[in-house]
Amino acid sequence: MFFLRGTMKERYGLIQFLGKDTPVIGEDILPGQQAPEFHAVTQNWEYIPVLESTKGKVRIIAAVPSLETSVCDRETRRFNEEAAKLGKDVVIIVISTDLPFTQKRWCGAAGIDQVWVVSDHREVEFGTRYGCLMKEPRILRRAVFVVDRNDKVTHVEYMAALGEEPDYERVLEAAKAAL
């Protein structure tokens, strides 16, 4: 069992893992809410406040189960391609519970250089604050959030199944609208 601060709400019926319903920890984020700050671990093992570190930018935050899966691989590569077209006022953050060692190796092999890939493995703070932590496998369910320059959430997508990809065009349009 892993450490969770305080009592966290477990929700059922949202997603399955290996054919079984798995509890999700935390509440879903809704458009219009202030985005909760969260800490993550960089590929160089720095523990940082992510929103504070990207203050003044529009953020696309993509939660993925593991970079080592085909869908997460495809999603991260797609966001890496799109990031170059968005300009410096938009930052794309891909977050998983993969260890920074794994993330660094995978990003190097995949040529990922436009998105910021960080890990939620340490305290799963992102997972619990954004309603993405799948308790039993201790991985994140797939979701995408657009957060504006003032830390307001403007777009949210929670995928109903781990193998579903986000609607990239809607996410990119939401990011452009938040500029």
* Tens digit of each residue's pLDDT (9 = 90 or more) over 143-177: 999 999 999 999 999 999 999 999 999 999 999 99
Q: What is the pTM of this model?
A: 0.95
What Cα–Cα distance (Å) separates residue 83 from each residue in 72, 103, 174, 176, 178? 16, 18, 14, 12, 15
**Backbone Cα Rg of the chain:** 15
pLDDT at 22: 96
Tell me if residue 107 is catalytic.
Answer: no
Looking at residues 109-129, what average pLDDT do you find?
97
Which alpha helices (H) appear in 111-157, and where do they start and end?
Answer: 125-129
- Locate the domains of the chain by residue range: 24-177
CA–CA dist 72, 109 (Å, integer): 14
Would you identify the CATH topology of the domain 24-177? Glutaredoxin (3.40.30)
* Tens digit of each residue's pLDDT (9 = 90 or more) over 49-106: 999 999 999 999 999 999 999 999 999 999 999 998 999 999 999 999 999 999 999 9
- Angle CA(80)–CA(68)–CA(70) in degrees, nearest 5? 70
pLDDT at 70: 97
pLDDT at 8: 78
CA–CA dist 58, 53 (Å, integer): 12
Name the more confident of 132 and 8.
132
Say if residue 2's pLDDT is above 70: no
Which position among 72, 86, 94, 112 bears the catalytic label? 72
100 and 119 Cβ atoms separated by less than 8 Å: yes
| Local structure of 56: helix, strand or coil | coil
- Angle CA(40)–CA(128)–CA(104) in degrees, nearest 5? 30
State the CB neighbour count (10 A cutoff) for residue 119.
24
